[in-house]
Amino acid sequence: MSAERAFSSVRVRSLAESQAVAVQVRLPGGSRMELTPGQASITGRMLAEGTHRRTWRQIAEESESLGMAISAFGGLETIGVSIDALARDWERALEWAAELVLESAFPQDRFEWLVEQNSAELQSMADQPEIKTGWEFLEQLYHPHPRSRPVQGTLEGLARLDREACDGFWRQSLSKGAVVTIAGGVGSEDRVQARAEALFGRRTRGHPDERVALPRGSDEAFREVSIAGADQAHFYAGHLTIPRADPDLPALQISSVILGSGSVLSGRIPQRVREREGLAYAATADAVAGAGLDPGRLVVYLGTAPESLQQAESCVRQEIDRLVSRGVSGREVEEARSYLIGREPFRRETAHQWAELLAAAELYGEPVDQPEWSRNRWLAASRDSVETAVRKHLHPSRLKITVGLPS
Amino acid sequence: MSLFVPPTIRTEQLSNGLQVCLVERRQAPVVATALCYRTGTLDEPPGQEGVAHFLEHMMFRGSHQFADGEVDRLTQALGGSNNADTSHDCTTYFFSFARDRWATALEIEADRMAGLLLEPAVIETERAIILEEVKMNQDDPWDALEEEVMAALYGDHPYGRPILGNPRSLITMNRSALREFQTKRYRPENAVLTIAGDVGPEAFDEAERFFAEIPRAEHASCRSLGQVEAIGNRRVERRQGGVARLLCAVPGPALREREYPAMRLLAAMLGAGRASRLHRVLVEELRSCAFVSVDTTETLGAGALLVAAEVIPDVQPERVERRLMEELAGASSGGFDEEELARAKSVLVADWVLGHEQAQAIALAIATAGALMDVGLPARHLEKIRSCSLAEVERVAARYLRPDNPRVIGWSLPEGGRN
């Protein structure tokens, strides 16, 4: 049985010189809305496992014969399908996306295999010391919110899942509306828009049902994870900050670049910990990591020698303290702002990036696809507003720390 | 609508021998540069393993015009990004900026090519950072396994050495070793600069402005590819983590060899996409692996075909290995069909188009190709891939995948003996 025709919103961007096309269909209802850990991940991935017209193998053979790359996914906020293809195949890609998202069949056999694969992937990820430690850190910060666990779920959750629960999750997600975005060398936007609306239905998108547990975090200020056979220690420090919709976001993004979220090593944390003191190879910091519908987080990550851990932690605490108590210089704000504005064209280079931006614009109700909108927000953030946002949202005394130590 | 249009590359050579390439791309208002030196781990003197990579780090730590930390500070303040990569064959530095400020990249590159400082105190700090990088790689099960498999495959040849070096050589690395390597190898005539993006022929003038004064070396430095001694069948086994990982390496053609494009196709037919042969058998039919991937190395000298697989917990690794060997043996005696070939061609062509939409990706591909062979290599390989016959692929499979050919089988098995 096919699902009922979904509500949809369609956004198209024609890119004159592009030889590629990206089609994305996103349904609100990622892991933040799931009832069982892993439900969103499996549901999303099941979209490429068979429709009422094609088996998984036909989907694979026919799409690969066109060089199409299909990715069916279940993320934190949405599930859906992303197709990257050559521009000449835009219509086929759109038809495929519609078939996968609207006519998914959820075959039992494929469900069972996908659960097994997902479980194996989780176990594989747990072999990466920084990931294993990072999971504990998320739990420490976000408990009992779904972000406190891996988006892929947990072994226990996956073992409890059944096909019907995933089928139901898909139907529920579909009922909240589909966000369809198409970008690339597609020629006439009107023609593509019309074709997409014919496939997905021209209706107003519904509102996601909000029933998400609030993140509280655990009471522990320090957590230690044992990593068998490792050489390095993995250090995470931070706390929850603000969601994407918070008006302080642009100011906090500027402070984040000053702290170390830029694309190079010029932030205060990487400069101090890596470049000056030589304590780590990997040293990153972000004040709004993962900010979306739910709060993002301040997170500092270091991969360091176990014997350097104390010194590294002390550096991190001092730098965060310094940021909050002594503020930022005018030059730092200017350069961080210039960095953020300067990176905007790089978010619009490929068809895939455009499709993602258009989807974000629709899902968050923000015109992020228009460079001027972001630029003006950063230009409006003064040194004072950056310091105010830092004092309001960054709290050295509330830092939670997770350390992965070789056992 | 045509399948795809290969990039148009314009090249000029400065009087000091620096080759400059331009790829105009007007899709976004950005410009990327890649400066690729024909030097890497391959050129390291005995006892100085890791010097090429160490020098790569030092290139960000101070030159005449840009004090320690300035390259990153300026890059960030201008909204750019930068990084570098050392391989066995070459070392590449890359920047991306908005189109109105991209020439800063050339100013930095020229200054550090001619005026690198190599301050002793900074060398000490960087040594500590690289030692942490070595540990980080050892903690990653795939990186650690690959290092051992490559050492077994290439023996004493530099391709068998870890690019980062080893703790022993890193601890003794000194300023004079770094300086000697840099003076000898970081020459304009030993490099290819590619500028890609929203920029026209004025890019050549900018290259001339910044690099023309740097003299070429008085004596040309030569490099030897060395000889890879024939290996027998070898096994590598280590224990790490909770999942079994298999990496099988089979000697294959080098990038410059005529058979290379057919080998790429063979790799795609075996392991690119869910419909590929090994994925279908090991992942979908036997359900014994979470994933399988097949790739070719892109090396100047002896190449290799690499098959990587991650085993589902509780499946016996021996079962996976046995079936993989059967499949490789089967592939060596043909049995592919035209449909598989056509599918692999589509996947590789689309991979190229989708993987090179960004100016940075195209700059890197052209600069690397120019340093290793010539800038027309990617387009020629793609053309060859598109015209390759089934018989050509089967000939390559018969030559390289024969069961009696030597190969390295590497396992990273779970600690505590699970699987």
The single-letter DSSP state of residue B6 is P
Closest residue to B1, CB basis, from A87, A265, A277: A87
Domain that residue A238 falls in: 222-406
**CB atoms closer than 10 angstroms to residue B64:** 11
Q: What's the whole-number mean pLDDT along residues A281-288?
A: 97
Give the mean pLDDT of B249-256: 94
Nearest residue, CB atoms, A128 vs list B78, B140, B359: B140
Place of tokens 């056509």: B342
pLDDT value, residue A185: 96
In a domain, A291, yes or no: yes
The arithmetic mean of pLDDT across residues B95-118, rounded, is 97
What pLDDT score does A176 carry? 84
User: What pLDDT, on the 0 to 100 scale, is given for residue A207?
Assistant: 57
Q: What is the mean pLDDT of residues B261-267?
A: 98
Third-level CATH fold of B234-417? Cytochrome Bc1 Complex; Chain A, domain 1 (3.30.830)
Confidence check: pLDDT of B220 > 80: no
Smallest Cβ distance to B353: which of A20, A56, A275?
Answer: A20
| Model confidence band, residue A2 (pLDDT cutoffs 50, 70, 90) | very low
pLDDT confidence tier of residue A111, bands split at 50, 70 and 90? very high
Q: Any long-range contacts for B65-70 (C-beta under 8 Å, 24+ apart)? A: B65/B107, B65/B111, B65/B115, B66/B108, B66/B111, B66/B112, B68/A275, B68/B117, B68/B119, B68/B122, B69/A266, B69/A271, B69/A275
Residue B131, pLDDT score: 97
Type of residue found at A381 = A
Q: What is the mean pLDDT of residues B38-51?
A: 96
For residue A369, the domain's CATH number is: 3.30.830.10
Q: Are residues A19 and A109 in the same domain?
A: yes
Residue A94 has pLDDT above 60, yes or no: yes
Are A181 and A236 part of one and the same domain? no
Shared domain for A288 and A372, answered yes or no, is yes
Under 8 Å between Cβ of B188 and B17: yes
State pLDDT tens for residues A23-49: 999 999 899 999 999 999 999 999 999
pLDDT of residue B1 exceeding 70, the answer is no
User: With respect to CATH, is domain B10-211 assigned 3.30.830.10?
Assistant: yes
pLDDT band at A3; cut points 50, 70, 90: very low
- Find the radius of gyration of the CA atoms of chain B: 22
Verify that A183 and A275 share a domain, yes or no. Answer: no
Residue B175 clears pLDDT 60, i.e. is over it: yes
Tokens at residue B187, please?
Answer: 């020459």
Q: Which of A69, A346, A349 sits opposite B354 (nearest CB)?
A: A69
The residue of chain A nearest to residue B348, with distances taken between CA atoms, is: A67
- Residues A225-238 have pLDDT tens digits of 999 889 999 999 99
Tens digit of pLDDT for each residue in A173-194?
Answer: 998 889 999 999 999 999 999 9
Which band of pLDDT confidence, cut at 50, 70 and 90, is reported for residue B341? very high
- Does residue A1 have a pLDDT over 50? no
Searching chain B, which residue's CA lies closest to the CA of residue A305?
B132
Quote the ipTM score. 0.94
- A360-382 average pLDDT score: 94
Give yes or no for residue A340 having a pLDDT over 50. Answer: yes
Rg value, chain A, Cα:
22
Domain segments of chain B as ranges: 10-211, 234-417
Closest CA to A157 of A123, A119, A121, A184: A119
Q: Same domain, yes or no, for A189 and A228?
A: no
> Average pLDDT, stretch A128-137?
97
Bigger pLDDT: B67 vs B229: B67
Task: Let me know whether A226 and A182 are in one domain.
Answer: no
* Residues A51, A102 within the same domain: yes
Residues A345 and A250 in one domain: yes
- Band of residue A377 on the pLDDT scale cut at 50, 70, 90: very high
pLDDT, average across residues A274-286: 95
pLDDT band, residue A4 (cuts 50/70/90) = very low
- Structural domains of chain A, count: 2
A338 touches chain B (CB under 8 A): yes
| Contacts with B240 from chain A: Cβ below 8 Å | 127, 229
Give residue A175's pLDDT: 86
Domain B10-211 and domain B234-417 have a common topology:
yes
pLDDT above 60 (res B12): yes
- Average confidence (pLDDT) over A386-407: 97
Please report which confidence band the pLDDT of residue B230 belongs to, taking 50, 70 and 90 as the band edges.
low
Q: Which residues of A touch B25 (CB under 8 A)?
A: 17
A338–B243 C-beta distance less than 8 A: no
Angle value at C-alpha B199, between B193 and B203, nearest 5 degrees = 45
CB contact under 8 A, B79 and A126: no
Asked if the structure places residue A210 within a domain, the reply is: no
Q: Which of residues 185-204 of A touch B (CB under 8 A)?
A: 185
Which chain B residue lies closest to A276 (C-alpha atoms)? B125
B263: confidence class by pLDDT, cuts 50, 70, 90: very high
Q: What is the mean pLDDT of residues B227-247?
A: 89
Q: How many CB atoms lie within 10 A of CB B314?
A: 10
